[in-house]
Amino acid sequence: RFTAEFDFRTYDAEGVILYAESLDNTAWILLAVRDGKIEIQFKNEFGTKVTSGGKAINDGLWHIISVEELEHSISVKIAKEAVMSINSPGTLFKQSQGFLETKVYIAGLPRKVGNTLVKQINPRLDGCIRAWNLMNQGHSGVKEVIQEKQSKHCLIAVGRGSFYPGTGTATFQINYS
Most confident range (mean pLDDT) of 45-59, 93-107, 118-132 is: 45-59
The strand ranges marked E within the chain are 3-10, 14-22, 28-34, 37-44, 47-53, 63-69, 73-78, 81-87, 102-106, 127-134
The per-residue pLDDT for 10 is 92
Instruction: For residue 28, give the nearest of 137, 114, 145 by alpha carbon.
Output: 114
The per-residue pLDDT for 56 is 95
Banded model confidence at residue 144, pLDDT cuts 50, 70, 90: low
Q: Is 20 helix (H, G, I), strand (E, B) or coil?
A: strand
- The conformation of residue 167, written as its DSSP 8-state character, comes to T
For residue 15, is pLDDT > 90?
Answer: yes
Instruction: For residue 64, give the nearest of 144, 4, 124, 16 by alpha carbon.
Output: 4
Q: 27 vs 143, which has greater pLDDT?
A: 27
Q: What is the pLDDT of residues 66-85, one digit of tens each?
A: 999 888 889 999 999 988 88
Per domain, the residue ranges of the chain are 3-152
- The CATH T-level fold of domain 3-152 is Jelly Rolls (2.60.120)
The per-residue pLDDT for 29 is 92
The per-residue pLDDT for 146 is 63
**Distance separating alpha carbons of residues 92 and 45, to the nearest angstrom:** 8
Q: What is the pLDDT of residues 99-127, one digit of tens each?
A: 778 888 888 898 887 678 888 888 888 88
The per-residue pLDDT for 59 is 94
Instruction: For residue 29, give the nearest of 84, 99, 98, 96 by alpha carbon.
Output: 84
The per-residue pLDDT for 35 is 96
In this prediction the pTM is 0.81
Q: Is 127 helix (H, G, I), strand (E, B) or coil?
A: strand
